[in-house]
Amino acid sequence: SSELTQDPAVSVALGQTVRITCQGDSLRSYYASWYQQKPGQAPVLVIYGKNNRPSGIPDRFSGSSSGNTASLTITGAQAEDEADYYCNSRDSSGNLWVFGGGTKLTVL
Amino acid sequence: EVQLVESGGGLVQPGGSLRLSCAASGFTFSSYEMNWVRQAPGKGLEWVSYISSSGSTIYYADSVKGRFTISRDNAKNSLYLQMNSLRAEDTAVYYCATVNSGSYYDYYYYYMDVWGKGTTVTVSS
């Protein structure tokens, strides 16, 4: 299967914890990577591998995986975390990349 | 500074062609696999095409297979996307991105850690 499914929208109160999930068969073989995209900007990698953060990404961002579900958790969400978040992985054949449909995060 | 800069976007009529370029600097381009990713107005990210570091392995999304051709010139630190038979649904911002990979026990992972700012392609009559 070459689909990754994300909830279209999630909201979180300022300072609270939010989990964004991504489901797909390929996630049984591949760890997802997660990208943050703010309006008018290019995507930015926030999580990759088992739970790795690129340099410059705050440690409130973390990743986890279980079965066919990958999760991005923001612990203590900040106003600047309001953005679209996309998961991505290779598909089960290994010949394609696939993105989830994206989750719009609103910080209240 | 590690940087990718896309160029070549513009307005083109349906059925027309366009060649996008992605200029890399600040890193050893020839060592990196590369992806093209696009985003239609108001829509999500869509992977378009992949090329290995040597150019010997290439993949395409079904939506562009047979119409788009990815290539690279490692001597010029450049990545290309030749787009033919363009359709209205190809209208998007096109990004190039570096591809990295790793493994952890039985799991593999791939990620795109450096992205350009994108170039806009509009297909319209």
pLDDT (tens digit per residue) in A16-32: 999 999 999 999 989 99
pLDDT-derived band at B8, boundaries 50, 70, 90? very high
User: Residue range A78-106: average pLDDT?
Assistant: 95
Distances (CA, A) of A80 to A41, A63, B61, B72: 14, 19, 33, 36
Question: Is residue A13 over pLDDT 80?
Answer: yes
What pLDDT score does B68 carry? 98
Q: Is B112's Cβ below 8 Å from some Cβ in A? A: yes
Among candidates A73, A41, A28, which has minimal Cα distance to B39?
A: A41
The answer on pLDDT for A85 being more than 90 is yes
What are residue A99's DSSP bridge partners?
A: A88
Instruction: List phi, psi (to 5°) of B90.
Output: -85, -5
- 3-state secondary structure (DSSP) of residue B29: helix
Mean pLDDT within B42-56: 97
Cβ contact, residue pair A30, B44, below 8 Å:
no
* SS3 of residue B119 by DSSP: strand
Measured CA to CA, the distance from residue A50 to residue A30 in angstroms comes to 10
**3-state SS, residue B104:** strand
User: From the list A33, A54, A101, which residue is nearest B110 (CB)?
Assistant: A33
Chain A partners within 8 Å of B116 (Cβ): 42
pLDDT at A2 over 90: no
> CA-to-CA distance for A73 and A20, rounded, in angstroms?
6
In the prediction, which pLDDT does B65 show? Answer: 98
pLDDT band at B114 (very low <50, low <70, confident <90, very high): very high
Q: For position B25, what pLDDT does the model report?
A: 97
Averaged pLDDT score across all residues of chain B = 97
User: What number of residues does chain B have?
Assistant: 125
Residue A7: other Cβ atoms inside 10 A: 15
Query: What is the mean pLDDT of the segment spanning A68-84?
Result: 98
pLDDT in tens, B88-104: 999 999 999 999 999 98
Residues of chain B contacting residue A53, judged by C-beta atoms under 8 Å apart: none
Token pair for residue B35?
A: 């992806």
Q: d(Cα A73, Cα A69) in Å, to the nearest integer?
A: 13
**Measured between alpha carbons, how far is B22 from A107 in angstroms, rounded to an integer?**
35
Mean of pLDDT values over A93-108: 94
Q: Considering only CA atoms, which of B51, B42, B113 is closest in space to residue B82?
A: B51
pLDDT at A21: 98
Which residue of A lies nearest to B52 if distances are taken between CA atoms? Answer: A95
B76 touches chain A (CB under 8 A): no
Q: Give pLDDT, residue B107.
A: 83
Lowest mean pLDDT among A93-102, B6-15, B62-71: A93-102
Residue A45 near residue A33 (C-beta atoms within 8 A): yes
Mean pLDDT of B10-32: 98
Residues 6+ apart with CB under 8 A from A55: none
